[in-house]
Structure 1
Amino acid sequence: MAVLKWMLKLALLPLLLLLILAQWTGIFLTTFSSVVTNLLAGLFFFTALACWVMGLADGGEVLKMLITGFVVFTLPYIAMSLIAKISYFGDELRDFLQS
């Protein structure tokens, strides 16, 4: 049984390395994309606000722009939650490999 557990640990080691690589890559991409999406969401927000104040768009169009800005704003946070799940799975796998 001990040999089988050792072989399983050896087989799962590349998976742990792939999870660490995916986590680092995800953190890197999410960091830069959050800056871009926050700027884009701000652009949507201020455009919607300006169109509403100047009377260029009615309430429905303004609401569509605000919803679009909110969705764009939340995308990096959804990605961060997925990265957190990958990190949790990697930690559990690391605990198994160290046992």
Structure 2
Amino acid sequence: MTVLKPMLKLALLPLLLLLILAQWVGIFLTTFSTILTNLLAGLFFFVALTSWVMKLADGGEVLKMLVTAFVVFALPYIAMSIIAKISFVAEELRDFLQS
């Protein structure tokens, strides 16, 4: 067992590096996509409201636009939760490698 643990740690080191790289890339991409998707969701939201106020669209179309705005708004937050899970796995793996 004393021989297997260092070999396992050596084998898992590239996985840790890949997880850290995936975390950094994910944070970078999520930061910029949050800005873009928030602008797009805001545009959908205001188009839906103005279309409803000016009677250019009925309630069903406005509801579809509002749902689309919410989905576009929520996408970066879903990505952030995935990045948090990757961070958790990387932290557990780092703890194992340091033990």
TM bin, normalised by shorter chain, reads: over 0.9
Pairing 1:11–2:11 present: yes
1:92 aligns with 92
Structure 2 Cα separation of the partners of residues 70 and 43 of structure 1:
11
Cα-to-partner distance string for 1:3-53 (whole Å, 9 max, x where unaligned): 100000000000000000000000000000000000000000000000000
1:72 aligns with 72
What stretches of structure 1 move > 2 A for 4+ residues in a row?
Answer: none
Tell me how far 1:55 sits from its aligned partner: 0.2
Unaligned runs of 5+ in 1: none
Identity of aligned residues (%): 82
Structure 2 Cα separation of the partners of residues 70 and 4 of structure 1:
50
Tell me how far 1:2 sits from its aligned partner: 1.0
Aligned residue identity for 2:23? Q
2:59 aligns with 59
Unaligned runs of 5+ in 2: none
Aligned residue identity for 1:37? T
Aligned residue identity for 1:57? A
Query: What TM-score does the superposition give when structure 1 sets the normalisation length?
Result: 1.00
Query: What TM-score does the superposition give when structure 2 sets the normalisation length?
Result: 1.00
Give the aligned CA root-mean-square deviation in angstroms.
0.2
* Other structure's SS at 1:2 match: coil
